[in-house]
Amino acid sequence: MAESSITLTFEKINHESDELRIIKAARQDPKAFGELYVLYMEQVFRYLYSRIGNVHEAEDTTSQTFLIAFESFDGFRQDGHFASWLFTIARNKAMDRFRQRKNTSSIDEVNDIPVEYDPLYGVIQSEQTAALSKLIQALPEVDRELLRLRFLADMSFPEIAHILYRNEEAVKKSIYRLLARLHSQLEVSNE
């Protein structure tokens, strides 16, 4: 178990050092910004698709997000929160889409994303998944947003806290309580 923890910690540190290296390179050569695109494109797309619910609009909004990030990259403060900065842009672009039309998809529909084939996407939805989907849809938007950022955008607690202007511990407690509540509601619905 300790080896797994060390591996995850090493991967996170490696990801952070890669990100810092790429940011420094992009500051000197704008062509290096493409590496940041490669690093975050799938996460941004999954997040936006879960918010917007349309593949083409999510692709378009993902492109707009990276275009804005590229154009305003000089304004980015290198404070170790690139993902937070990028997802703030993505959230704002999603909100622009909401103003244009009032339609979102559910978090569970992200399984329909045709990004790459994953065997998990091919698994038939179970009754538990349908029940969980129903519970998630009944959540307030604030709670669904926490789930999107944590599990679809794969963001860390500090990154989520930075985006939402909240305390890291408050974000962590909110997510854990939300997961515990969903778990207990799912157990009650399965009885």
Q: In this structure, is residue 119 part of a structural domain?
A: no
| CATH number of the domain encompassing residue 128 | 1.10.10.10
pLDDT of residue 62: 93
Render 19-78 in DSSP notation, one character per residue.
Answer: HHHHHHHHHH-GGGHHHHHHHHHHHHHHHHHHHH--HHHHHHHHHHHHHHHHHTGGG---
Distance CA(125)–CA(36), nearest Å, equals 34
Q: What would the two tokens of residue 110 be?
A: 């992200």
pTM: 0.66
Residues 4 and 93 occupy one common structural domain: yes
Residues 5 and 94 occupy one common structural domain: yes
pLDDT of residue 186: 80
Q: In this structure, is residue 39 part of a structural domain?
A: yes
Residues of the domain holding 59: 1-104
Domain end (from 69, 104, 139): 104
| CATH number of the domain encompassing residue 74 | 1.10.1740.10
Q: Which residues contact 114 (CB under 8 A, 6 or more apart)?
A: 55
Q: In this structure, is residue 144 part of a structural domain?
A: yes
Q: In this structure, is residue 116 part of a structural domain?
A: no
Residues 16 and 97 occupy one common structural domain: yes
Residues 88 and 150 occupy one common structural domain: no
Q: In this structure, is residue 128 part of a structural domain?
A: yes
Q: What would the two tokens of residue 153 be?
A: 């955008």
Give the DSSP letter of residue 113.
-
Residues 93 and 185 occupy one common structural domain: no
Q: In this structure, is residue 174 part of a structural domain?
A: yes
pLDDT of residue 22: 84
Query: In the chain, how many domains are there?
Result: 2
Give the DSSP letter of residue 126.
P
Residue 136's nearest CA partner among 115, 110, 117 is 110
Domain end (from 104, 135, 160): 104
Distance CA(155)–CA(171), nearest Å, equals 12
pLDDT of residue 113: 52
Cα dist from 167 to 18, 59, 87, 94, 148, whole Å: 26, 31, 17, 24, 18
* pLDDT tens digits in sequence order for the chain, 191 residues long: 455 444 444 444 455 667 788 888 888 888 888 898 999 999 999 999 988 888 899 999 999 999 999 888 888 876 667 888 999 999 999 888 877 765 545 555 555 555 454 444 434 345 667 777 888 889 999 999 999 998 888 888 999 999 999 999 999 999 999 999 988 888 787 66
How many residues does the structure list for the chain?
191
